[in-house]
């Protein structure tokens, strides 16, 4: 039994990979930065010695690299994944009318197309097995427009739409689909934040919610998880 987690070198992806390995899963993880990814893999192996860990550096904005990662995972693990976590993404604030040309395309490639291509690579096997759970890491920006959201918000709205559509397609085939939409989490996206740390959620909070959603009975699914800091969104 194994899980795939993208964008797993730090933040939410790392917390999810650590949690699933601790719960007995083998894990296939990827991220763009090879050094940070290897550090995550080393930490997982130390904390969960029984877990098999496949860690490959991947540019998730490159379709062919995404498909090559999928092929490597299939060679390593063979069967369909129990869990697929589409977490890879980049956050760049900016207004639509001020962004440089091509910015939306770059954001879409990482924040949406990576999830689309990787899911398409594994969903036939999950469908045939009549089990499995796809988690897409969306955002509160998937639900509510805000100033300076720009292309980031556009891509997150699109990822939520992808999740909803996939859920409808898979619900008769035993494959669950859940979108997780966190607000401010203490990750690299909030580097430089000079407020108190208790204004931000922890990556482990998101990992815990994912694990809780996964552990429902076969006849139940949480379609969308919306998470915010207890004191509300940050402006």
Annotated active-site residue 2? The verdict is no
Domain presence at residue 111: yes
**Residue 63's domain spans which residues?**
2-227
Model-level pTM? 0.94
Q: What is the mean pLDDT of each run of 10 residues along the chain (235 residues)?
A: 97 97 98 96 98 98 98 96 97 87 95 98 97 97 88 96 98 98 78 68 96 98 96 78
**Could you say which of 2, 113, 116, 152 is catalytic?**
152
pLDDT at 91: 86
What is the 3-state secondary structure of the chain? CEEEEECCCCHHHHHHHHHHHHCCCEEEEEECCHHHHHHHHHHHHHHCCCCCEEEEECCCCCHHHHHHHHHHHHHHHCCCCCEEEECCCCCCCCCCCCCCCCHHHHHHHHHHHHHHHHHHHHHHHHHHHCCCEEEEECCHHHCCCCCCCHHHHHHHHHHHHHHHHHHHHHCCCCCEEEEEEECCECCHHHCCCCCCHHHCECHHHHHHHHHHHHCCCCCCCCCEEEECCCCCCCC
Domain presence at residue 165: yes
pLDDT at 96: 86
pLDDT at 148: 81
pLDDT at 192: 59
pLDDT at 162: 98
Q: CATH no. for residue 83?
A: 3.40.50.720
């Amino acid at each position: 039994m194994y899980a795939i987690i993208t964008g797993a070198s730090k933040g939410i992806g790392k917390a999810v990979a650590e949690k699933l390995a601790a719960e007995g899963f083998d894990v296939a993880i990827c991220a763009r930065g090879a050094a940070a990814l290897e550090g995550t893999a080393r930490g997982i192996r130390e904390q969960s010695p029984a877990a098999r860990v496949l860690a490959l550096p991947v540019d998730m904005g490159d379709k062919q690299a995404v498909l090559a990662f999928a092929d490597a995972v299939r060679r390593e693990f063979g069967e369909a994944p129990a869990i697929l976590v589409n977490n890879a993404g980049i956050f760049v604030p900016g207004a639509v009318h001020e962004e440089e040309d091509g910015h939306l395309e770059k954001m879409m490639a990482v924040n949406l197309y990576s999830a689309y291509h990787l899911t398409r690579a594994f969903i036939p096997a999950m469908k045939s097995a009549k089990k499995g759970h796809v988690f897409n890491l969306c955002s509160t920006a998937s639900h509510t427009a805000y100033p300076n959201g720009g292309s980031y918000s556009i891509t997150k709205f699109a990822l939520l739409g992808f999740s909803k559509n996939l859920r409808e397609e898979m619900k008769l085939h035993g494959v669950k689909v859940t979108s997780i939409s966190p607000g401010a989490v203490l990750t690299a996206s909030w580097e430089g934040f000079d407020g108190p740390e208790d204004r931000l959620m922890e990556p482990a909070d998101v990992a815990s919610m994912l694990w809780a959603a996964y552990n429902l009975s076969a006849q139940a699914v949480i379609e969308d998880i919306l998470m915010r800091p207890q004191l509300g969104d940050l402006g």
